[in-house]
A and B are shown apart, each in its own frame.
Chain A
Amino acid sequence: MEFNATLLGQAITFAILVWFTMKFVWPPLTNMMDERAKRIADGLAAAERGKQDLEAAEKRVADELRQAKQQATELILAAEKRANQIVDEAKDAARTEGAKLVADAKAQIDQEVLRAKESLREQVASLAVSGAEKILRKEIDAAKHADLLASIKAEF
C-alpha cells in the first residue's frame, strides 16, 4: 500500500466522470424514460377510455335496435289492424251497397208492379166502362152520368 499523487489524479478523473454523467448522461436518459413511461400510461388510459366508449356505443346500438324492433312491431300491428278495419269497412260498405241495390231494385219492381196494376186496373176499368157503355149505351148518357162513371172508374 503506497499512497501518492495517483490518488489525486484518480479523484480528479472521478470528479470529471461524475460531472459528465450528471450533465450529459443522466438527465437525457431519465427524462426520456419518464416521458416514455408517461406516454405508455397515457396510451393505456386512452385504450381503457376507448374500450369504455365502445361498450357504451354497443349498448346504445343494442338499445336503438331494440327500440326499432319494437317500433316495427307496433307499426306492423297497427297496419294489420288498419287493414282489418279497411276490409271490415269495405265489407260493410259492400253489404250496405248491396242492400241498397236490392232495396232499390225491390222498390223499382214494386213500382213497376204498381204501375202495371194501375194500368191493368185502368184498362180493366175502361174495358168495364166500355162494356158497361156498350150495355148501357142507350140508357146512360155519358155526359149525364159522368160523375157516376168517374166514381166507378175510381173504384177499380
Chain B
Amino acid sequence: MASNATEYIQHHLTFWKSSHEGGFWTLHLDTFSVSLILGFIFLAVFASVARNAKMENPGRLQMFVETIVEMVDTQVKEIFHAKSKVIAPLALTIFCWIFLMNTMDLLPVDLLPMVAQWIGHTFFGADPAHVYLRVVPSADVNATFAMSLSVMLCIIGFSIAAKGLGGWTKELFTAPFHAEGLVMTIILAPVNFAFQLVELAAKPISLALRLFGNMYSGELIFILIALLPVAFQWILGAPWAIFHILVITLQAFVFMMLTIVYLSLAVEKH
C-alpha cells in the first residue's frame, strides 16, 4: 500500500507536460488548458451578460454578475483614489479567474484525471499510468507567478505613469530613507535601492506563494483523503470541502484586494 499510495500521490502531482525532457520550454498543458477554458467561461458569461444587460428587470444571472461587479467596484473606489480604466477590470478578472481556478479544487480529485486517462487510453492508446492531469491551475506556481508578476509589471507601470520615469527612478534611490545633503544622499542611495528592490520583489512573491500554498496544500489533503477507505472519506472530505469553499473565495478576494492596494500604493507619492 505504501508504494501504491506514494505512486498515487506522485501521479496526482505530476503535470501533463508538452515534452518529457523538461526544461524551460516545456508547457504544463493541464494548467494552461484548464485555466484557458475557465478564463473563456468567465469571459463568455460576463461578456454575454454585459452585452444583453437590461436596465429594467435584470435576470438572475445579470443580478449575480452585477453583484460581483458592484463588489469589485466598491473595493476599488474605496482603496484606489486615482483615476484608472485598467484597475477595476483587472481586479474583476483576477477575482473571477482565481475563483474559478480554485473551484476546480472542489471537484473529486480523481474525476478529471480518470476521464483524461480513459480518453488517453481509448483514443490515443496511451498508457494510463502516464496520462497526467492536474486540474487546479492555481496549485501550479507558474499560474500564480504569472499573475503576480503581471501585477508587479502593473505596479511599475502605474508608478512610472504617476510619477514619470525620472520621478520613479529618483524614488528608487531616495526612499524610504530621506537624506539631507548630498553626502548623505549618496550614502543612503544603495540602502534605499536595496530596500526598494526587496519591497518590489516581496509583493509578487507573497501574492503568488500565498495562493499557491493554499491551493497546493488543499489539493494535497484532498488527495490524502482520497487514500482513505471509501466509506470513511466523507468524514474528512466533507468538512474539508466545506472549509475550502471559504478558502477558495477568500484567496481570490485576498489576491484581488492586495493587487488594488499595491497599485494604489504605486501611484501615491512616498
Q: Spell out A's residues near B (CB within 8 Å).
A: 1-11, 13-18, 20-22, 24-26, 28-30, 32-33, 35-36, 39
Beyond A3-B142, A4-B27, A13-B35, whether A33 also contacts B66 by CB under 8 A is yes
User: B142 touching A18 by the CB < 8 A rule?
Assistant: no
User: A29 touching B26 by the CB < 8 A rule?
Assistant: no
Return the chain B residue nearest A24 by Cβ. B47
Beyond A14-B150, A18-B93, whether A7 also contacts B51 by CB under 8 A is no
Interface residue B2 (Cβ < 8 Å from any Cβ of A): no
User: B93 touching A14 by the CB < 8 A rule?
Assistant: yes
Q: Which of A1, A13, A21 contacts B36 (CB 8 A)?
A: A13
CB-CB under 8 A from B89, the residues of chain A are 18, 21-22, 25-26
Beyond A4-B24, A10-B146, whether A21 also contacts B69 by CB under 8 A is no
CB-CB under 8 A from B35, the residues of chain A are 10, 13
7 CB contacts below 8 A, A to B, read A3-B141, A5-B25, A8-B146, A11-B149, A13-B39, A13-B146, A24-B51
Q: Spell out B's residues near A (CB within 8 Å).
A: 22-28, 31-32, 35-36, 39, 42-43, 46-47, 49-51, 53, 55, 65-66, 69-70, 73, 85-86, 88-90, 92-93, 97, 137, 140-143, 145-147, 149-150
- Bound together, the chains give a CA A10 to CA B23 distance in angstroms of 17
User: B53 touching A29 by the CB < 8 A rule?
Assistant: yes
6 extra interchain contacts, Cβ-Cβ under 8 A, other than A14-B146, A21-B89?
Answer: A7-B142, A7-B145, A18-B86, A28-B53, A30-B69, A32-B53
User: B86 touching A22 by the CB < 8 A rule?
Assistant: yes
- Bound together, the chains give a CA A99 to CA B85 distance in angstroms of 109
User: B97 touching A17 by the CB < 8 A rule?
Assistant: yes
**Residue among A17, A22, A24, A33 facing the most chain B CB atoms (10 A cut-off):** A17
CB-CB under 8 A from A5, the residues of chain B are 24-27
CB-CB under 8 A from A18, the residues of chain B are 86, 89-90, 93
CB-CB under 8 A from B25, the residues of chain A are 4-5
Secondary structure at the B interface, as helix, strand, loop or mixed, is: helix
User: A28 touching B50 by the CB < 8 A rule?
Assistant: yes
CB-CB under 8 A from B53, the residues of chain A are 28-29, 32
Secondary structure at the A interface, as helix, strand, loop or mixed, is: helix
Nearest 6 pairs of A and B residues by beta carbon: A10-B146, A6-B142, A22-B89, A21-B89, A26-B89, A11-B146
CB-CB under 8 A from A24, the residues of chain B are 43, 47, 50-51
Return the chain B residue nearest A10 by Cβ. B146
CB-CB under 8 A from B145, the residues of chain A are 3, 7
- B213 CB → nearest A CB, Å: 11
User: B26 touching A17 by the CB < 8 A rule?
Assistant: no
Beyond A3-B145, A11-B146, A35-B55, whether A29 also contacts B69 by CB under 8 A is yes
**Residue among B42, B47, B65, B142 facing the most chain A CB atoms (10 A cut-off):** B142
User: B85 touching A4 by the CB < 8 A rule?
Assistant: no
- Bound together, the chains give a CA A15 to CA B145 distance in angstroms of 13
CB-CB under 8 A from A3, the residues of chain B are 24, 141-142, 145
- Bound together, the chains give a CA A11 to CA B142 distance in angstroms of 9
- Bound together, the chains give a CA A14 to CA B39 distance in angstroms of 8
- Bound together, the chains give a CA A1 to CA B28 distance in angstroms of 12
**Residue among A1, A16, A20, A21 facing the most chain B CB atoms (10 A cut-off):** A21
- A20 CB → nearest B CB, Å: 5
- A9 CB → nearest B CB, Å: 5
- Bound together, the chains give a CA A18 to CA B51 distance in angstroms of 17
CB-CB under 8 A from B88, the residues of chain A are 26, 30
- Bound together, the chains give a CA A6 to CA B15 distance in angstroms of 11
- Bound together, the chains give a CA A111 to CA B140 distance in angstroms of 148
Q: Which of A11, A33, A39 contacts B69 (CB 8 A)?
A: A33
- Bound together, the chains give a CA A30 to CA B73 distance in angstroms of 9
CB-CB under 8 A from A17, the residues of chain B are 39, 42-43, 93, 97
